[in-house]
Amino acid sequence: MTISDSLPLTGIRVIEFSHMVMGPTCGMILADLGAEVIKIEPADGDKTRQLPGLGAGFFRTFNRNKKSVVIDIRTEKGLAAAVELIDSADIVIENFRPGYMTSIGLGYETLAARNAGLIYVSHKGFLPGPYDHRTALDEVVQMMGGLAYMTGPPGKPLRAGSSVNDIMGGMFGVIGALAALQERHTTGRGQEIQSALFENCVFLCAQHMQQFAMTHEPVPPFPARVSAWSVYDVFSLANDEQLFIAAVSDKQWQTLCEVIGAHELASDERLRTNAQRVALRPELLSKLGVILRQHDKAALSARLEAAGLPYAPINRPEDLFDDEHLNASGGLADMQTDTGETTRVPLLPLLMGGRRLAVQRPLARVGEHTDEILRNSPE
């Protein structure tokens, strides 16, 4: 796919004032869908470009398909340039602390008075309420919103191994923006959209809230949960390799026993139904563990796949670059980085009319498109 190919949001202009993950995720998705996303950066660039450790991949991951314009919005000249750009925009994205954009003259009410059709997407820690003054991070809201409690073992809350709320918060920002674009066709007016980390995390834990509402029993963390299925676990195989294996129906149970040669378990009347097996789950898992210790991972995986049983290797993130399915299905694509290297990145996890939404341009260098945009150069 080339930039000139028609995409759903071709012709939509987005001005992005954001950093880290949540706001950039919103901008990246809109850019992948074809919008012209102009990322406003300070002269030394978005600080996310230089993060170490677990933040090292943030900028590359969440800023593709965008243009970079350097504007110092703290100066009178820079602010005027930003306002002029926003006058030409359909959508503004921001994820600064509450009140900051308004304090410098870039709040929704001020901008909407100039551009009535503007859709203004704010990404915050909390929606308006008693907590909205607090500083929030993904880990903060995972603790507050029940997710860390559900992820870790009892007494040891543990954040999920990805920026799940930041990423989903950006996705909800996109959903709001797309809905507002559609509504603008009817009303002719834009609106302010707010997406927040805490409320996002609560939404992720809503199923557990309803479990408590229905059972009136405290919901145990996942490592201590009472499983709905008897076989739904990670097992150790020969050579200390591991495999997740599941059997969630009575038919799958019988099939699994046949695949691994557990004939005595298959004929045990105490294990005939899933409910019976769940009642005896610790004993059952112990017996399965002994049997599975004798199985080679590659050979067993092939048999499980042939039998149509759910299974999964325990992959690390670096393993995914070589994943057969991702590579064969076009789920990974080459992207030239801002330093001129080439890396492979996961595309949005969807098909539109049978096509993947591709990488359209190299990752922007700091201020690479400043002259083009501020001089109103054509696309």
Question: Catalytic amino acids?
Answer: 166
**Identity of residue 181:** L
How many other C-beta atoms can be found within 10 angstroms of the C-beta atom of residue 204?
19
List Cβ neighbours of 243 (8 Å cut-off, separation of 6 or more): 234, 235, 237, 292, 297, 300, 301, 311, 312, 313, 314
105, 177 in Cβ contact below 8 A? Answer: no
Q: Which of 79, 64, 174 is nearest to 119 (CA)?
A: 174
From CA 244, how far away is CA 242, in angstroms rounded? 7
Q: Taking the mean position of all CA atoms in its chain, how far away is CA 201?
A: 12
Residues 66, 39 contacting (CB under 8 angstroms):
yes
Other CB atoms within 10 Å distance of the CB of residue 281: 16
Quick one: which H or E segment has residue 234?
A: strand 231-236
